[in-house]
Amino acid sequence: MFISYFTERPYQDPNSGFFGGIGLPLTDLSLSNKEYNPRIAAALHERYFEEMQRVEEVGFDGIILNEHHSTPFCMAGVMDVEAAILAQITKRAKIVLLGNILPIWDDPLRLAEELALIDVISKGRLVTGWVRGTGRESISHNAASPYNWERFQEAHDLIVKAWTTDGPFRWEGQHFNYRYVNPWARPYQQPRPPIWIPGVMSKNTVRWAAERRYPYIMLATALEPTRQSFDYYAECAREFGYEAGPQNIGYNFKVHVDETEELAEATARKYIEGPSNPFLEGNQGIVKPYLQNLPGMTSRTQILPTGIDPAALAARGRSSPAAAGPPPPPRGSYEDLTSKWSIVTGTPTTVIPKIRHVLEYLRPGNVIFWDGDGAMNHDDTMRSLRLFGEEVLPAVREMGKELALTSAFEVDPATGKEITPAE
């Protein structure tokens, strides 16, 4: 099993009505950057880098970075800069990017150079991941959303060829044209760094990833549609001539560990306070569907194998309607999110069996714990990391062995063969 740590690195300002505690309703893509204080941001970046160093120290295998644009819930508009810094201030943990938004790049060759340089500086610790992005990113960077899927695929093909083919060569494509492709920065890992594909419930993307035998990472989605997406990956894999295993799939979910049950609950409630991810129910964000669901971003006719409409489940953490009985807690409330495993919290004693339930149900070999988010402060994060290192990570590793949850670094996702240190 490969275990990583993730946080959105939110912009927090306790003196602002928008960014402290419960705060004011924060409508996505509506808040002016006049609210951004560079001095506060500098302190926050320092805090998050300190926490990432601690992530490595307590024994996590990887540090996950992502990026979003024009929004306070994620401070990283350019995560490759963060990755370059991590390449120098960490020594062992892999730097996993989930991920670069390929369709907004007008010069993907420049991205190939950036990522190769990060891989060189880190001495081969880069795991690159690519996403199609959301309407927010297309709007923020003036990208033509109807061509989102085409640009994603062509940019991917160009970058992989730039990494794996000796230059110079020409590239004449539908969206990108280069008279001279000969990047001097080549990846440290040969023939290229590992490629992971993060997503939610896009049937197109799941099939595309399975065809290329790339690990597909589900991002904080509800358990049942997540398992159905993994089943669909396995179905596609058989169609393409191989059997997918735990090494081909990964899952990112919110887990906070604390010293007492009372403190764990009080802290975990902060997931849905402050500038937490606007795609998650129960937070202060309000997504504008007419901006996020631009033409070309999703298929309006695509249905997952068991008849689940991805658009109906696009908000992470949703579940099917409740059966008859007592009324369920309000959707998006802390009680709702914990009841359906969208937030897992407690002391090590109570958290470990909850994690086991998720791992037994989904069987991912690549596991990402999402913590330190929303309105959580530095002390909240550091307490959780200490307990992760002392008790939770050792127990989860034993679970991984018992359940045979092999990671993408133990079994090659492309061949199904065991990876030895010599390789």
Please name every residue paired with 23 in a beta bridge, in sequence order, or none if there are none.
Answer: none
Amino acid at 175: H
The per-residue pLDDT for range 321-352, each reduced to its tens digit, is 444 566 777 777 889 889 989 999 999 999 99
Residues 308 and 200: their CA atoms lie apart, in Å, by: 13
Confidence of residue 315 (pLDDT cuts 50, 70, 90): very low
Torsion of CA 78, 278, 287, 67, to 10 degrees: 10
Lowest mean pLDDT among 37-46, 138-147, 377-386: 138-147
Residues 58 and 4: their CA atoms lie apart, in Å, by: 11
Tokens standing for 310? 């991805």
Tokens standing for 20? 């402290």
Give the domains, in start order, of the chain with CATH numbers: 2-402 (3.20.20.30)
Report the Cα–Cα distance between both ends of the chain, in Å, rounded.
18
The per-residue pLDDT for range 352-372, each reduced to its tens digit, is 999 999 999 999 999 999 999
* pLDDT confidence of residue 179: 97
According to DSSP, residue 420 is labeled P
Cα angle 122-126-128, degrees, rounded to a multiple of 5: 155
The per-residue pLDDT for range 172-225, each reduced to its tens digit, is 999 999 999 999 999 999 999 999 999 987 899 999 999 999 999 999 999 999
pLDDT exceeds cutoff 80 at 293? no
* pLDDT confidence of residue 142: 83
Residues 6+ apart with CB under 8 A from 306: 228
Confidence of residue 279 (pLDDT cuts 50, 70, 90): low
Query: DSSP string of 117-132?
Result: HHHHHTTS-EEEEEE-
* pLDDT confidence of residue 316: 40
Residues 391-401 have a mean pLDDT of 98
Entry pTM:
0.92
Residues 260 and 193: their CA atoms lie apart, in Å, by: 41
Closest CA to 219 of 193, 201, 239: 201
* pLDDT confidence of residue 284: 53
Residues 348 and 279: their CA atoms lie apart, in Å, by: 28
116 three-class SS: helix
Residues 69 and 73: their CA atoms lie apart, in Å, by: 9
Cα→Cα distances 345→31, 129, 208, 348, 381, Å: 31, 28, 34, 9, 13
